[in-house]
Amino acid sequence: MAKRRRKLSPELEKNISLAKKQIELITAIIHDIDEDDIQEEYKSAFLPVMSAYMSLDQMYKDVGFNEDTASLHKLYLTNLDKFKNEYEL
C-alpha cells in the first residue's frame, strides 16, 4: 500500500521557522540570567512553550498540515503570550 503524502502549508512552515528562532532567542536570554533560582523559575515557566513547539514541529514533519497541527500552533502562541506577559525578559 502506498504511503499517503502529507499535506503541506507554506504559511505554517514559515510560522514554525519563526517559532524556532523565538525559542532559541528566549532560551539564550534565560541562560544569561545570573541567579540560579531565577533562571530555574524562568526555565520551568518556559517549558509549556518549548513543549508545544517541539510537538508542533514533530507532528508537522510526521503528518503535515491538519487540524491538530493548526491547534498546536495556536497552543504554542497562547503559551508564548502567557509566558511573555508573566515574565519580563
Kindly state whether residue 2 falls inside one of the protein's structural domains. Answer: no
Question: Which pLDDT belongs to residue 4?
Answer: 67
Range of the domain at 65: 18-86
Kindly state whether residue 25 falls inside one of the protein's structural domains. Answer: yes
pLDDT class of 6 with cuts at 50, 70, 90: confident
Among residues 53, 65, 56, the alpha carbon closest in space to that of 20 is found at 53
Kindly state whether residue 36 falls inside one of the protein's structural domains. Answer: yes
30-76: pLDDT as tens digits: 999 999 999 999 999 999 999 999 999 999 999 999 999 999 999 99
SS (H, E, C) 17-85: HHHHHHHHHHHHHHHCCCCHHHHHHHHHHHHHHHHHHHHHHHHHHHHECCHHHHHHHHHHHHHHHHHHH
pLDDT class of 3 with cuts at 50, 70, 90: low
In the chain, the number of structural domains is 1
Look at residue 13 and give its three-state secondary structure. Answer: helix
pLDDT class of 89 with cuts at 50, 70, 90: confident
The pTM assigned to this predicted structure is 0.90
